Each structure stands twice: as C-alpha cells, then as structure tokens.
Amino acid sequence: MSKLGDLGAKLYRGEVGYDFVGKRMLWYAVSILITITAIVALAVQGLNMGIEFKGGAVFTTPKTDVTVAKATEVAEEASGHVAIVQKLGNGTMRIQVSGLDTDQANGVKTKIAADLGMKEQDVNADLVGPSWGEQIANKAWTGLAVFMVLVVVYLAIAFEWRMAVAALIALIHDLTITVGIYALVGFEVTPGTVIGLLTILGYSLYDTVVVFDGLKEASKDITKQTRYTYSEMANRSLNGTLVRSINTTVVALLPVAGLLFIGGGFLGAGMLNDISLSLFVGLAAGAYSSIFIATPLVADLKEREPAMKALRKRVLAKRASGARDEEPEGTEEGTEVVAQARAGRAAGRRR
C-alpha cells in the first residue's frame, strides 16, 4: 500500500486525524475575510461584462502578424470606443468593440481592414445585441434559483434540514468567491462564464454530499453511546473522506488547469478562458468549503439540539469517571473536553 493509501486508511479508522471541526471558528473567520474581499471587489471594480451582455460588434481578421497593441490602437481610433483584442491560436484576431450599431460597424470594419493591410471581405463582422445577453442572464438566474431550491429540498429529504442549510451556505460561499475573483482579475464575463458558474455547483456539492452521507451513517445511533460527541463524530467522518476529497479535487483540477494556462494562456483561446477560470476557482473553493465550512456548520447546528447537548453531558461525565480507554484520539476538541471534565471533577472534590 502507498504512503497516501496508508494515511487514508488510518484517517478512515480514526487512528490519526486533524481537528477540522474543533478549529471551526478559525475557518469561519478565514472564509468571512475572503468573502468580504470578493464583495468589496465586486462593489469597487465591478464585473467586466462581455460584448454579449453590452451589445456591439465582433470583428475576426484573417491570419496576421499584426501585434495586439497595434490592432487595439487601430480599432479604438476607428470606432471611438474601447476595444478588446485577442490573438487566437491560429494566428487570427478577435476584436470586440462595444456600443456599435450596424452602420457604425460597417464603417469600422472598412477602416480596420485598410489600416491593418487586409482585404475588407476577409474581415468578418458580427453584430451582437444586448437583448440576447439579457436573455442569457435571466435564464441563468432562473436556473440558479431552481437549482438551489432543488438542492435544499433533496438534502432535507435525503439527510436533514441542517445539512441542507449548511450545503446552501457553502454553495453561496463558492459562487461569491468565484465571481469576486473575476472582478479582481478583470476577466471578461461571457456566456461561457455563466456555463462555468452553473457547472461548478454540482462539483461544489460532490464532496459535501460524500461527507454528509458518511456522517449520517456514523451518527445513526450516536445517542446510544458515550464515546463521542456529535462534533467529534463529524470530525471523524470528515477525516475518513479527506484523502478521497483531495484526490478527486486534484484530478478534476488538472485538466481544467490545462485549459486555463495552456489553452487560454498560450493558445489565446478566449472561450476557454471564460469557462476554465470559473471552473478552476469554483472547484478549489468547493473542496475548501466542503471541508472547512459545510461539515463544521452541521456540527454547530446539531450541537444546539437538546439530545446532542444531553449526549455531550454524558460523554463528559463518562470521561470524568476515569474511562480513559474511551477518550477520543487525535482531536483537539476531545482533549479540551476531557480537560474541562477533569477540572470540573477537581472543583467538585474541593467543595
């Protein structure tokens, strides 16, 4: 067995582990800081909406040796608007100019062809109306709302409402971070971006549902024992699926990274940038939230139940009575609970 496989087996059996749930306040603080940064970026810089949402013209040139800087200068001078120029992998160029109507687009096309030394008929011009982008955005919002409702309903039925709430918060967390990254780096938001954002919703839920399923099974008869509190059981379930979560996330990120850094960076494929950045950030944020947000939130909500409070008292009492062989290993929360129990017992003796 490999070292990683051996570590995974030990995590699954509870022989080793990291106290993710016990340190939940730290993870909450980190997530809140990241989320606030994303919201500030959105408020200050806003999103760089693509031409599909603003309307305008897209000019595609034949293969050329003209530099991006030169093409940008020519397009902006010809149109009087800001131009976005991309060098595509086959040597052609894609020039986007917002705010042009049909007559203006024809004139700009003629000027671009003349200034760049091309035949006018070789320059393709496509006019995009803003209404099309509005339809895409409205359908995306509708799809997002329906997806969220279905997720909450399904998780509430398959697991319980606390897990549904935790998963929903984790999803909102992932989407906020992904959109905030777009605002920070200035990547253009296109229909490809919308597709990527809707795609990551499923990936974000994958690891979360795996952990929740293991936790549901492990905590089925949790009130009939006095070995672990609910938070400790949640932490054990999380550690048991940790290596699996890391492996699946890395495997999913590798091809997406290839699209982002090779396809988008070196080949200059614009649509690949739009989809791959949202997928890359969303996958990473989803893996983070399933480990550091969703499961600790479930533990917080469950520990408020009277049954779980009574269980915690019984576990403390059992440990205080000297049953050291039942003390949970490898979690800081368990160690803290035992220390509190011992301190309480010593105070009782002094009285």
pLDDT tens across 83-138, in order?
Answer: 888 777 677 888 888 877 777 888 888 888 888 888 888 888 887 776 666 777 78
pLDDT digits (tens, 9 = 90+) for 311-324: 989 888 888 886 54
What are the pLDDT digits (tens) for 265-280?
555 555 666 778 888 8
Cα angle value 337/314/218 (rounded, 5°):
85
> Per residue in 193-228, pLDDT tens?
888 888 887 777 877 888 888 888 888 888 888 888
- Would you say domain 56-128 falls under CATH 3.30.2130.10? no
Read off the pLDDT of each residue in 45-54 and give the average, rounded to a whole number. Answer: 80
Instruction: Specify the range with the lowest mean pLDDT, choosing from 32-46, 87-101, 292-306.
Output: 87-101
pLDDT band with cut points at 50, 70 and 90 for residue 30: very high
Q: Which of 56-65, 158-167, 235-244, 320-329 has the highest mean pLDDT?
A: 158-167
pLDDT exceeds cutoff 70 at 13: no
Beta bridge partners of 128: 56
Q: How confident is the model at residue 29 (pLDDT cuts 50, 70, 90)?
A: very high
Identify the CA nearest to 24 among candidates 245, 289, 201, 306. 289
Give the relative orientation of helices 332-350 and 230-240 as an angle to the nearest 10 degrees.
160
Residues of the chain with pLDDT > 90, as a percent, come to 11
Per-residue confidence (pLDDT) for residue 199, from 0 to 100: 80
Contact yes or no for 85/102 (Cβ under 8 A): no
Give residue-wise pLDDT tens across range 225-262.
888 899 988 888 888 888 787 888 888 888 888 777 77
Averaged confidence pLDDT in the chain: 79
157 pLDDT higher than 60:
yes
Fill in the amino acid letter for 7. L
CATH level 3 topology of 3-47+132-306? Multidrug efflux transporter AcrB transmembrane fold (1.20.1640)
Q: What number is the average pLDDT over the span 291-319?
A: 90
Ranges 23-37, 297-311, 331-345: which has the least confidence: 331-345
**What average pLDDT does this structure show over 301-330?**
76
Supply the pLDDT for residue 348.
44
The answer to whether domain 3-47+132-306 and domain 56-128 are alike in fold is no
Q: In terms of C-beta distances under 8 Å and separation of at least 24 residues, what long-range contacts does 335-344 make, across chains too?
A: 336/22, 337/229, 337/312, 340/316, 341/316, 341/317, 344/316, 344/320
- Which residues have a Cβ under 8 Å from the Cβ of 39 and sit 6 or more positions away? 176, 180
Residue 124: CB partners within 8 Å, gap ≥ 6? 59, 60
The mean pLDDT value for 5-25 works out to 68
Closest CA to 206 of 146, 290, 278: 290
pLDDT at residue number 31: 92
Q: Would you place residue 3 in the very low, low, confident or very high pLDDT band (cuts 50, 70, 90)?
A: low
Higher pLDDT, 337 or 321: 321
Please tell me which residue, 201 or 349, carries the higher pLDDT value.
Answer: 201
- Please state whether the predicted TM-score (pTM) of the whole model is above 0.75: no
pLDDT in the model for residue 185: 83
Domain ranges of the chain: 3-47+132-306, 56-128
* 350 compared with 54, residue with greater pLDDT: 54
